[in-house]
């Protein structure tokens, strides 16, 4: 068997993890083609000592991240209303995220609603319009909620990330950490009775848990402004568009939401 170069090994590993993430309901960017294998060269002294991981941003970026998170926290906690929070996000420098996005995507629906649905990050149509869940996944989400008698007036819909990441990739862990103060304050200001966590990225951002396949339909508790709010993870509608055979599980989870509304 022909041995693989490090780049080819990396590509195979990326492809395997991409398949896994896609099965989890998470959009992923295409894997770039691997460079052809090169003859091994002896390493220089500095190559031998420093081995940065390709997924780890360079040190200055990470140092800047801590400061930016602190700024986001200060801005978010100082926002007394949803309008003020939206303005704070609009004025915030979220680095690559805000550099590439056309608009911030804040929320849609009724801020007085008892149900708050929290998705992942905006896609192309959301970025163009500044409104969450208006593309094909959003249309399916609306149908899913309509099936349990929840219309635009009984729902408030937002995302854990307010900017569309470049190339429609998922937000990185650092980016989610940067957005966290905003979604935390958003939940505090809306103070819903029930939170629907839409997709694996949102599950991770809001609960720290991974694995939407095993966690969907299991009630969680989110501590929001000193109050514990029941929250249920649901398959992301974009995932269901690719895996329609899993809609039956989403239906069960939606029925659990309906049941909770009727018997809080």
By CB under 6 A, name the binding residues for ligand URA.
Answer: 119-123, 126, 132-133, 135, 137-138, 159, 199, 238
Compute the least distance from the CB of residue 136 to ligand URA, in Å.
9
CB of 157 to ligand URA, least distance (A): 8
Phi and psi torsions of 83, nearest 5°: -60, -45
Nearer Cβ to ligand URA (133/156): 133
Task: Please report, in angstroms and rounded to a whole number, the separation of the first and last CA atoms in the chain.
Answer: 61
Rank residues 7 and 125 by Cβ distance to ligand URA and give the closer one.
125
- We find the least distance from the C-beta atom of residue 163 to ligand URA, in angstroms, to be 11
Smallest gap from residue 132 Cβ to ligand URA (A)? 4
Q: How far is the CB of 107 from ligand URA (least distance, A)?
A: 10
Nearer residue to ligand URA within complex by CB, 76 or 161 = 161
- How is residue 62 written in tokens? 């990470």
Smaller CB separation from ligand URA, 126 or 175 = 126
Q: Which residue is nearest to ligand URA (CB)?
A: 119
Nearer to ligand URA, 119 or 233 (CB): 119
């Amino acid at each position: 068997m022909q041995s693989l170069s490090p780049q080819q090994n990396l590509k195979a590993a990326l492809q395997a993890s991409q398949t896994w993430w896609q099965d989890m309901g998470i959009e992923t960017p295409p894997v770039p083609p691997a460079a052809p294998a090169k003859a091994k060269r002896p390493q220089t002294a500095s190559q031998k000592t420093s081995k940065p991981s390709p997924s780890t941003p360079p040190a200055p970026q990470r140092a800047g991240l801590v400061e930016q998170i602190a700024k986001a926290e200060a801005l978010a906690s100082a926002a007394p209303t949803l309008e003020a929070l939206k303005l704070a996000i609009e004025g915030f420098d979220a680095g690559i995220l805000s550099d590439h996005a056309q608009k911030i995507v804040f929320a849609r629906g009724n801020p007085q609603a008892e149900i708050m649905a929290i998705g992942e990050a905006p896609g192309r149509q959301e970025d163009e319009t500044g409104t969450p869940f208006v593309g094909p996944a959003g249309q399916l989400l609306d149908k899913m909620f309509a099936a349990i008698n929840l219309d635009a007036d009984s729902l408030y819909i937002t995302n854990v990330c307010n900017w569309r990441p470049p190339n429609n990739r998922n937000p990185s862990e650092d980016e989610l950490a940067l957005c966290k103060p905003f979604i935390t304050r958003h939940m505090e200001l809306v103070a819903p009775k029930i939170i629907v966590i839409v997709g694996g990225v949102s599950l991770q951002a809001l609960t720290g848990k991974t694995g939407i396949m095993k966690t969907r339909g299991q009630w969680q508790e989110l501590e929001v402004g000193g109050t514990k709010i029941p929250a249920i993870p649901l398959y992301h509608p974009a995932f269901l568009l690719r895996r329609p055979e899993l809609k039956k599980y989403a239906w069960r989870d939606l029925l659990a939401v309906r049941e909770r509304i009727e018997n809080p």
